[in-house]
Amino acid sequence: MSKSVLVIDTPETCIDCIFCQEYRTKSREYAYCYVTNGDSENDMKLIDCIYGYRQSKPDWCPLKPPPEEDHENHYPNKWIDGYANGWNDCLKEIVE
């Protein structure tokens, strides 16, 4: 199966995330993540953070920042050192 990339602003907490769905009962508030499955393919994963989903994100959060730009010369000859430029151009193309 081929892969895809979805570029969004990374939220600081689950409550700020577009993939977080809150539910309330009379005794409790809780939230589920739509990006990850729970134990089966039809489930969403319950968000259970140390400080609560309104204050933090779980360690298993699937949203990851893109890799950093590369500013290192990989070859002694700058004329043939296009690796960093190619890497950075590729990153810019994806995130902009």
88 and 52 inside one domain: no
DSSP-derived 3-state class of residue 7: coil
As a dihedral over the C-alpha atoms of residue 90, residue 3, residue 36, residue 60, rounded to 10 degrees, the angle is: -40
- pLDDT digit string, tens, across residues 54-86: 888 888 888 888 888 887 766 766 656 677 778
Q: How many whole angstroms separate alpha carbon 49 and alpha carbon 12?
A: 13
Q: Which residue, among 80, 90, 14, has the nearest Cα to 51 in the 3D structure?
A: 14
**Taking the model in full, what pTM does it have?**
0.66
Give the count of domains, the chain: 2
At residue 40, the pLDDT reads 63
31 and 49 inside one domain: yes
CA angle 88, 66, 13 (to 5 degrees): 150
18 and 55 inside one domain: yes
34 and 75 inside one domain: no
Structural domain of 58? 7-64
28 and 51 inside one domain: yes
44 and 86 inside one domain: no
Other C-beta atoms closer than 10 Å to the C-beta of 96 total 6
C-alpha distance from residue 95 to each of 49, 56, 86 (Å): 28, 24, 14
Question: Considering the domain boundaries, does residue 31 fall inside one?
Answer: yes
Residue 44 has pLDDT above 70, yes or no: yes
18 and 37 inside one domain: yes
15 and 47 inside one domain: yes
